[in-house]
Amino acid sequence: MEEKSYKEYLQHITTFIFDVDGVLTDGSLNVTTSGELLRTMSVRDGFALKFAVNAGFNVAIISAGQNEGVKVRLEGLGVNPVYLGASNKAEQFKTYTQENNIKPENVLYMGDDIPDHAVMQLVGLPACPQDAVPEIKSVSKYISHKKGGEGAVRDVIEQVLKVQGKWVF
C-alpha cells in the first residue's frame, strides 16, 4: 500500500497541539543569575497561533516544561489549554481529546524530541521542525523546512489553513 502524502491529511485537521521547547522555541535556555529560565519565541508563530484560534481551530500545548511566562504568553494568544509539567504527554493527549470529543486522526501534533514520540504515534499528522532529533523525524509524516522557534509552527498552521481556505489570502 502506498504511503499517503502529508498533504492528504491537511484537509481533515481540526486541532493543533504543540510542544514548547524545540518547537515554539529554538530549544535554548538563557539562565539568569536568579535561576530563571528565559526562552525566545517567534512573533510569526504567535500570529499563526492566534489566527488559527480565531479561525475556529482547537489549539493546545502539551509541554513537560513548567515556565509560567510561557503559559501567560500562549494564553494571551488565545491558546487553551496550555498543559505544563506534562510528564506523560500521551496520557495528557488522550484526556484532552476525550474531554473535547476530538478524533485523534484530526490532530496535527508537532514535537521535536524523545518525550514527544509516544503522542506522535497517536495522531493523524505527526510533524516536527527541521532540527528535530532523528527518532522524531522517523515518525513524522511532515518535517518542516523551518527550525524550532524559527517558523516551524507558522509553517504547519499556514499550510493547513490554506488548504482549508481559511488563511488570510
Q: What is the CATH number of the domain that holds 93?
A: 3.40.50.1000
Is 30 strand, coil or helix?
A: strand
What is the domain count for the chain? Answer: 1
Q: Do the annotations mark residue 112 as ligand-binding?
A: yes
pLDDT at 35: 87
Is 167 strand, coil or helix?
A: coil
Q: Do the annotations mark residue 116 as ligand-binding?
A: no
Q: Do the annotations mark residue 45 as ligand-binding?
A: no
Is residue 160 within 8 A of residue 144, CB to CB? The reply is no
- Residue 149 forms part of a structural domain: yes
Categorize the per-residue pLDDT at 3 as very low, low, confident or very high, splitting at 50, 70 and 90.
low
- Residue 56 forms part of a structural domain: yes
Amino acid, single-letter form, for residue 125:
L
- Residue 159 forms part of a structural domain: yes
- Residue 46 forms part of a structural domain: yes
Domain span at residue 156?
7-163
C-alpha separations of 129 from 33, 72, 153, 169 in Å:
31, 23, 8, 24
Mean pLDDT value across residues 74-79: 98
Is residue 106 within 8 A of residue 160, CB to CB? The reply is no
- Residue 168 forms part of a structural domain: no
Q: What gap in Å lies between CA 156 and CA 151, rounded to an integer?
A: 9
Biggest CA pair distance of the chain: 56
- Residue 20 forms part of a structural domain: yes
- Condensed to tens digits (0 to 9), the pLDDT of residues 84-135 reads 999 999 999 999 999 999 999 999 999 999 999 999 999 999 999 999 999 9
pLDDT at 76: 97
pLDDT above 80: residue 21: yes
